[in-house]
Structure 1
Amino acid sequence: MTRVNLITGFLGSGKTTTLRHLLAGKPAGENWAVLVNEFGEIGIDGALLAESGAVLKEIPGGCMCCVNGLPMQVGLNMLLKQAKPDRLLIEPTGLGHPKQILDMLSAAVYQPWIDLRATLCLLDPRQLADRRVVENENFRDQLAAADIIIANKQDRWEEADQRALQLWHQATAPSRPLILTSHGQIDAELLDQPRTNLQTLPKPAHHSHQSQSGLAALKLDDNARWRRALNQGQGYQACGWIFDSETVFDTIGLLEWARLAPVTRVKGVLRIAEGLVSINRQGADFHIETRQITPPDSRIELIHEDPVNWNLLQTNLLSLRL
């Protein structure tokens, strides 16, 4: 029987960083798998988790949490049948609602196959001061569904963020554990805590995605050097690009492009002269990591709440190719 955990959290809360930390501590004798969903079509997390030692399945386009749940069912069934993991970690998009996923995982048909453990929700307390985030249905219900709340990015908090977190926890979830951490560094023992929060979540408001979602992240056609993909829904828009393995970017220019892009979220794994650079930006928080390896392709995705001139951003990005 596969132990299963849902790892939720709004955009930029640190889900992928937390997954990388947990996978780095995976017991040597265990087989772990990850089912990851992103709002956009490109599929960045697969590249970030590629060397984790876990079996990975990506579902693009924010479709894991849609009402029919078909991509989720197919991805889950494939992992359970083919990988037969000891543990499965499921990371829905930060713009996803947890109700359909939890309902599916709790269904009788899966009871002989999975042991559903605690749901963990990542929270950046600074988001509690952002009215648009706090009023988002998915943000609220991700936290409402959690068995354990992980207040992440403690190294970035101000005193006001700490106070806001305490007030929120006392008013909203005083009976549930609250773990404070930075960089997603949590104890793997949390994964084996039982699922105790069985409250019934409201049915999410209807939402739609204008995308080309399938059951795998976007790939290039045989002769294409690069490709763009767009997705929008739930008040957010995403634009992503994928480039072939021969495309190399100017390092300084690329980092400045990502830092100054007029969007809320930037995430990418790209080839530079020095090897590979991973980019993770949420608002003004900008984290980069370089490694001396050559990625199989380059991928970058941007998400924002309002319309963006994607063509201008694309022109500037294309000019940075060496």
Structure 2
Amino acid sequence: MTNVNLITGFLGSGKTTTLLHLLAQKPPNEKWAVLVNEFGEIGIDGALLAESGAVLKEIPGGCMCCVNGLPMQVGLNMLLKQAKPDRLLIEPTGLGHPKQMIAMLTDAVYQPWLTLNATLTLLDPRQLSDTRVTDNENFRDQLAAADIVIANKQDRWQPADQTALAEWQQQYLGDRQLVRAEYGNIDPALLDTPRRNLRQLPDARHHHAPSQTKSGLAALRLDHNARWRRALNQGQGYYACGWIFDQDTVFDTIGLLEWARLAPVTRVKGVLRIAEGLVSINRQGQDLQIETRASAPPDSRIELIHENDVEWNNLQTSLLKLRLETLA
């Protein structure tokens, strides 16, 4: 029997960082698996989680709670039958609606295979002052689905954020457990909390084009001798553009960080090779985090998300100029 938890949360709430902390505390005698989905096609989280020690499967390009849940079913069935994990952590896209996913995981067909424990929903209280976030149906429905709300990034809160969190807790969170955290560092014992939130969720009203389930890492790969490629995606009121570069591509460090900082988009996330080694970039609004990493994925990937369409070609031209290697 596999213990399953959903780790949900809106864009930039810290889901991947939280997963990394949880996986770092995995008991050595247990096998854990992660089923991860991203809005874009590039698959950044797979690169970030690749060295976590868990069995990893990605579902790229959309949300696995849509389209009758078929990509979700395929990925879930493969993990349960092939990996037979003791625990499965599912990270839906920050733009995903949890209703169909919870319905699927509690369906009678899966009862002999898994136990759905508490759903953990990440919340950055600083987003509570942004009506573009708080008016989003998925944001509200993710909180409605939560058994435990993780108020993350406490180290960056201002007094106004704490006030907004207290108001939301009183008005919307009800009796749900609220845990405050920094950098997604939470007690793994929370994963064993039983599922108690049995409220009926509203129906999802967004639609998304079907996505194809890919095995293992790398939602998008390079073809043959291609040095790089781009992928676009849109839905649920958001637009995404991502790029993947081969393992020989190295970027100018200062130029890359400035490009990520100044890009006119809401969300930037990537893992890229630089002259000094490897850097992960995570930007939500003006909040930019960078971290050097010891291990490298087989390529470089970066994804941008915004509420409106963007001049992606202009951003691409600037990004390509930051490559250091000699181009053929």
Say yes or no: TM over 0.5.
yes
* Matching residue within 257, 260, 263 for 1:255: 257
The residue number in structure 2 matching 1:214 is 212
- Give yes or no for the alignment of 1:280 onto 2:282: yes
1:211-240 deviation line (CA, Å, top 9, x unaligned): x83212010101111000000000000000
Is the 1:148–1:178 contact (alpha carbons within 8 Å) kept by the matching residues of 2? yes
Structure 1 residue 258: Cα displacement: 0.4
The residue number in structure 2 matching 1:177 is 177
The residue number in structure 1 matching 2:305 is 303
Is the 1:120–1:149 contact (alpha carbons within 8 Å) kept by the matching residues of 2? yes
Unaligned regions of 5+ residues in structure 2, if any? none
Is the 2:63–2:92 contact (alpha carbons within 8 Å) kept by the matching residues of 1? no
Structure 1 residues 293 and 119: alpha-carbon distance in aligned structure 2, compared to 1, 3 A threshold: closer
The residue number in structure 2 matching 1:246 is 248
1:47-71 deviation line (CA, Å, top 9, x unaligned): 0001000000000011301031110
The residue number in structure 1 matching 2:270 is 268
Q: 2-side partners of 1:294 and 1:72: how far apart?
A: 28
- Which secondary structure does the structure 2 equivalent of 1:295 belong to? coil
Q: CA-atom RMSD, angstroms?
A: 0.9
**2:238 aligned partner, one-letter code:** Y
- Which secondary structure does the structure 2 equivalent of 1:69 belong to? helix
- Which secondary structure does the structure 1 equivalent of 2:67 belong to? coil
**1:152 aligned partner, one-letter code:** N
- Which secondary structure does the structure 2 equivalent of 1:68 belong to? helix
Structure 1 residue 174: Cα displacement: 2.7
- Give yes or no for the alignment of 1:25 onto 2:25: yes
The residue number in structure 1 matching 2:145 is 145
Q: 2-side partners of 1:139 and 1:114: how far apart?
A: 26
The residue number in structure 2 matching 1:68 is 68
Q: How do 1:84-163 and structure 2 match up within 5 A? A: 84-163=84-163
Q: 1-side partners of 2:238 and 2:65: how far apart?
A: 16
Is the 2:206–2:236 contact (alpha carbons within 8 Å) kept by the matching residues of 1? no
Q: 2-side partners of 1:280 and 1:316: how far apart?
A: 19
Is the 1:67–1:100 contact (alpha carbons within 8 Å) kept by the matching residues of 2? no
Q: 2-side partners of 1:50 and 1:273: how far apart?
A: 22
Structure 1 residue 292: Cα displacement: 4.0
- Which secondary structure does the structure 1 equivalent of 2:301 belong to? strand
1:272-295 deviation line (CA, Å, top 9, x unaligned): 111111000001111111124443
Is the 2:67–2:208 contact (alpha carbons within 8 Å) kept by the matching residues of 1? no
Deviates more, 1:40-49 or 1:216-225: 216-225
- Which secondary structure does the structure 1 equivalent of 2:68 belong to? coil
Is the 2:98–2:141 contact (alpha carbons within 8 Å) kept by the matching residues of 1? yes
Is the 2:38–2:61 contact (alpha carbons within 8 Å) kept by the matching residues of 1? yes
Q: How do 1:46-65 and structure 2 match up within 5 A? A: 46-65=46-65
Q: 2-side partners of 1:192 and 1:294: how far apart?
A: 32
Structure 1 residue 152: Cα displacement: 0.3
Sequence identity (%): 78
Q: 2-side partners of 1:243 and 1:319: how far apart?
A: 13
**2:34 aligned partner, one-letter code:** V
Q: 4+ runs of 1 displaced by more than 4 Å?
A: none
Is the 2:63–2:95 contact (alpha carbons within 8 Å) kept by the matching residues of 1? no
Q: 1-side partners of 2:267 and 2:132: how far apart?
A: 15
Q: 2-side partners of 1:213 and 1:41: how far apart?
A: 9
Is the 1:3–1:116 contact (alpha carbons within 8 Å) kept by the matching residues of 2? yes
Q: 2-side partners of 1:269 and 1:132: how far apart?
A: 27
- Which secondary structure does the structure 2 equivalent of 1:296 belong to? coil
Is the 1:152–1:182 contact (alpha carbons within 8 Å) kept by the matching residues of 2? yes
Structure 1 residues 293 and 116: alpha-carbon distance in aligned structure 2, compared to 1, 3 A threshold: closer
Is the 2:281–2:288 contact (alpha carbons within 8 Å) kept by the matching residues of 1? yes
Q: 2-side partners of 1:15 and 1:294: how far apart?
A: 21
Q: 1-side partners of 2:274 and 2:212: how far apart?
A: 29
The residue number in structure 2 matching 1:291 is 293
Structure 1 residues 191 and 46: alpha-carbon distance in aligned structure 2, compared to 1, 3 A threshold: same
TM-score between both structures, scaled by the size of structure 1: 0.98
Is the 1:274–1:292 contact (alpha carbons within 8 Å) kept by the matching residues of 2? no
Q: 2-side partners of 1:87 and 1:187: how far apart?
A: 15
**1:59 aligned partner, one-letter code:** I
Structure 1 residue 173: Cα displacement: 1.7
TM-score between both structures, scaled by the size of structure 2: 0.96
Q: 2-side partners of 1:64 and 1:178: how far apart?
A: 26
Q: 2-side partners of 1:94 and 1:44: how far apart?
A: 13
